[in-house]
Amino acid sequence: MGPVIRARRRAQALRIDDAASLSGVSVDLLSRLENGKGSVRLDKLLAVLDSLGLALVLGPKDHPTMQSVWRGGVERPEQS
């Protein structure tokens, strides 16, 4: 998840301190999230995702849509 968040932040030409400020989190937290270090509270993760225009999707593993995601068969929105 961290690399996706970092890539999205960079694609929006946001410095880490600016993205952290927009998300209402510390630079340290955003850095840890991007680097997969330590734990992050769910509310903080959701705030970061929302501020970057990302979403966390939850669904049953056996649902056809989730199956195609696991296989890598779903196009990413930026590829459309």
The domains located in the chain, with CATH, are: 2-79 (1.10.260.40)
Buried-state track 9-40, b at ≥16 Cβ within 10 A, e below 16 = beeeebeeeebbebbebeeebbebbbeeeeeb
Query: Does the reported pTM lie above 0.85?
Result: no
Taking the CA atoms of residue 20, residue 50, residue 11 and residue 24 in that order, the dihedral angle to the nearest 10 degrees is -10
pLDDT one-digit tens code per residue, 28-72: 999 999 999 989 999 999 999 999 999 998 889 888 888 877 776
Distance between CA atoms of 10 and 57, rounded to whole angstroms?
A: 22
